[in-house]
Amino acid sequence: MKKNGPLALAFHTLFVLFIAAPLVAVALVSFTDKAYLSMPFDGISLRWYVALLNEPAFLNALYTSVLLGAISATIAIVLAVPAALALTRTHFAGKEAINAVLLSPLLIPHVVLGVAFLRFFSGLGLYGSFGALVAAHVVIILPYALRLTVATATGMDVRLEQAAASLGAHPGMVFRRVTLPIILPGVVSGWVLAFLQSFDELTMTAFLASPSTVTLPVRLYLHIEETIDPLVASVSTVLIVGALGLMAVLDRIYGLDKIFIGKR
């Protein structure tokens, strides 16, 4: 099958439709004027978006999720960069074991992590605190930031750093002026992926969240337990538009091909 042949075009078209159809359906439902989930064939209404603005619980949960995701992703990427450079540049005893430990949260069910963190933070008297949520989220999103940073650092030509050092640049300058710009696509993509994973995390967060630290996924879950109305669709549509907006900004500033494909 040719790369750009009709079968390839048909496959990609069906794939895009398969991915986009549920998102379009959710967006359409959010504009209904009825009190139940229904396509807005009888007219378009912003009723449930107005209702969302009048729901402080959802707005507070959105703020908590954004703040939690941004702080957790930033800490994770700060830890991932030196770890990635150490794993790709040096050889030492226990290197594979350390790499396995750093990636191990990918293999552990989040229910198990939630129970473990609940017991751990309860013993420290930190249960329900925002700091406990940040620490737990850093643990589960660190592998995502690390893997993308490692992928970029692996393909880096170390002779560029050696050339900078030979010209008199100290290690800090070499990192800022040579290393970081080269691995920046992996750093940015790692941060974005870590943020999205933190923002979307439900299972583990449900064990640690308190009334003052409820995230948006937990709030949606609690709302769906009580009732299913188009308010859920309006919240979901806002999140979809927000994600698309984030992609557009990143593409405008840096280029999605550099972030997710690694082109320079």
Q: What is the pLDDT of residues 87-144, one digit of tens each?
A: 888 787 888 888 888 888 988 898 999 999 999 999 888 888 899 999 999 999 999 9
Q: What is the DSSP string of 135-160?
A: HHHHHHHHHHHHHHHHHHHHT--THH
- Rounded mean pLDDT of the chain? 84
In a domain, 23, yes or no: no
More confident residue, 92 or 75: 75
Domain count, the chain: 1
pLDDT at 98: 87
Residue 218 lies in a domain: yes
pLDDT at 241 over 50: yes
pLDDT, average across residues 201-221: 89
d(CA 209, CA 35): 29
Q: What is the mean pLDDT of residues 141-150?
A: 90
- Domain-embedded: residue 244: yes
Indicate whether 195 pLDDT > 70.
yes
Q: Could you give the maximum distance between any two Cα atoms of the chain, in Å?
A: 72
For range 210-236, the mean pLDDT: 86
Residue 164 domain flag = yes
The answer as to whether 33 is a domain residue is no
The boundaries of the domain holding residue 83 are: 55-261
Label residue 212 by pLDDT band (50, 70, 90): confident
In a domain, residue 77? The reply is yes
Task: Mark 152-186 as b/e (b = at least 16 C-beta within 10 Å).
Answer: bbeebeeeebeebeeeebeeeebbeebbeebbebb
Average pLDDT of span 1-17: 76
Tell me, yes or no, whether 134 lies in a domain.
Answer: yes
Confidence of residue 3 (pLDDT cuts 50, 70, 90): low
pLDDT for 80 equals 93
User: What pLDDT, on the 0 to 100 scale, is given for residue 264?
Assistant: 43
| CATH number of residue 77's parent domain | 1.10.3720.10
Asked if the structure places residue 206 within a domain, the reply is yes
Q: In the prediction, which pLDDT does 133 show? A: 93
| Average pLDDT of the segment spanning 157-176 | 80
Confidence of residue 49 (pLDDT cuts 50, 70, 90): confident
Q: Which pLDDT does position 159 carry in this prediction?
A: 80
Q: What is the pLDDT of residue 263?
A: 46
pLDDT, mean of residues 19-38? 83
**What pLDDT was estimated at residue 257?**
62
Instruction: List phi, psi (to 5°) of 94.
Output: 85, 10
pLDDT at 117: 93
Structure token pair of residue 103: 């990636």
User: Per-residue pLDDT averaged across 24-33, rounded?
Assistant: 85
Q: What is the mean pLDDT of residues 187-199?
A: 88
Q: What is the pLDDT of residue 227?
A: 80
* Percent of the residues in the chain that have a pLDDT greater than 90, as a whole number: 21
Express each pLDDT in 248-262 by its tens digit: 776 776 566 655 554
